[in-house]
Amino acid sequence: MFRTASGPRVFRQTSAAAGAVALIALGASPAAAEDPEPGLVLDRIAPFEGVEPGSTLSVPATFTSTGSEALSKVWVSYQVSRGLRISELPSNCRAWKVGGFDETPVSTKAVCSFEQRVEPGGVYAPEKDLPVKVLDNALYDGVTVVASSYDNTPGDEASGGPVQGTAPAVRLTGRTGATPSGEDVLEVPVKAVNTADLQVTGARLQGRVGDKVKLTVKFTNAGPAWVNDRKVGEPATRVFVRMPAGTTVTKGHGFCDRKSAGLYECGTSQAWIDEGYPGTYTFELRIDKAVAGAEGSVALEDAPRPYDPDKTNDKAGIALAVT
């Protein structure tokens, strides 16, 4: 099965909100979105709360056929975010790596086909729930489950695959006591017990009056978890850079905005931050005069981060020695 890897991305400050809340940036295929009255309706699936990294979840997919005619083939798909991994894929399923583009983090989508007669009004489920492993980087994750009467394989959003399942094929079995959700697509949150250490690194500068010096400060998610708790279009966090007294910014970072004299607000390019993500903000400063004890700072925004208990590295100094 696919393994996700974090890679460097450019920081960008963005103000365009994309509307939908993205606890997990998954969702249905365009075909599913165009089906106003689904012929298959999923049962409710409770969120997975307080799960431990290393544990395995059992993801159900019980559905009711609400159409007026029998179906000869149906599909059930499962899309898991990057803190989760499908640990056993039946041979009647295929999996794709999905996303990894500007607004979508990497995920894995598995589509299972069932060539069986599905009667109107019948309640069915795969005979075995899908096993999904909670990875060491899990925190705010999720599974999207879709039941459909059409092939729900990914289109252009696929970035890898397909991989054919190798575990024994599963069949649909009849069920009783359905609790229909009214939907053919369900986004199921998975909240892991984990932490992510967001931290900043300052700098030490030296120069003479009139010199231009390069300032580089860093922002890092030291993990172990990735963080995906913001709306699409919002930066995952904001970083404030305050310049040392006696200096003027002659060249700013392309993805930071000036808020006031000597103060810049910088954001991340995405609504999520991969574990191990390293980023830098670089400025050019002119030393205008010597100011005793002049020191700037780089700091994370003052916002709740319940997953980040270590606050000692949320702020760092920018020292300036004028020779």
Residue 167 resides in a domain: yes
Amino acid 10: pLDDT: 35
Task: Indicate if the pLDDT at residue 269 is higher than 90.
Answer: no
Query: Does 269 or 195 have the greater pLDDT score?
Result: 195
What mean pLDDT comes out for the span 17-24?
Answer: 34
Q: Tell me how far apart the alpha carbons of residues 62 and 126 are, in angstroms, rounded to a whole number.
A: 7
Give the CA-trace dihedral at 78, 81, 87, 92, to 10 degrees: 20
Q: Is residue 214 part of a domain?
A: yes
Domain boundary among 145, 165, 192: 192
Question: Can you give the pLDDT at residue 2?
Answer: 58
Q: Does position 29 have pLDDT exceeding 90, yes or no? A: no
Q: Does residue 7 sit within a domain?
A: no
Q: Tell whether 170 and 244 lie within a shared domain.
A: no
pLDDT value of position 232: 66
Same domain (yes/no): 40, 93? yes
Select from 176, 192, 208 the last residue of a domain: 192
Mean pLDDT estimate for the chain: 89
Both 205 and 188 in one domain: the answer is no
**Are 170 and 275 in the same domain?**
no
- Residue 12: its pLDDT value, please? 34
Asked whether residue 24 is assigned to any structural domain, the reply reads no
pTM of the model: 0.85
Residue 235: CATH number of its domain: 2.60.40.290
**Percentage, residues of the chain above pLDDT 70:** 87
Query: Contact at 8 Å (CB) between 51 and 81?
Result: no
Looking at mean pLDDT, say which of 16-25, 84-93, 261-270, 300-309 comes out highest.
84-93
Residue type, 231: K
Q: Are 181 and 43 in contact (CB under 8 A)?
A: yes
Question: Does 260 reside within a domain?
Answer: yes
Whether residue 179 is found in the same domain as residue 202: no
Q: How confident is the model at residue 27 (pLDDT cuts 50, 70, 90)?
A: very low
Query: Is 314 found in the same domain as 187?
Result: no
Task: With a cut of 80, say whether residue 13 has pLDDT above it.
Answer: no
Number of domains in the chain: 2
pLDDT digit string, tens, across residues 199-256: 999 999 999 999 999 999 999 999 999 999 877 667 889 999 999 999 999 999 988 9
The pLDDT assigned to 255 comes to: 86
- Provide the pLDDT for residue 20: 33
Q: Provide the pLDDT for residue 147.
A: 98
| Residue-level pLDDT at 235 | 80
Query: b/e per residue, 188-197, with b = 16+ CB within 10 A?
Result: bebbbebbbb
Residue 34 CB contacts under 8 Å (≥ 6 apart), including other chains = none
Structure tokens at 124: 């069915």
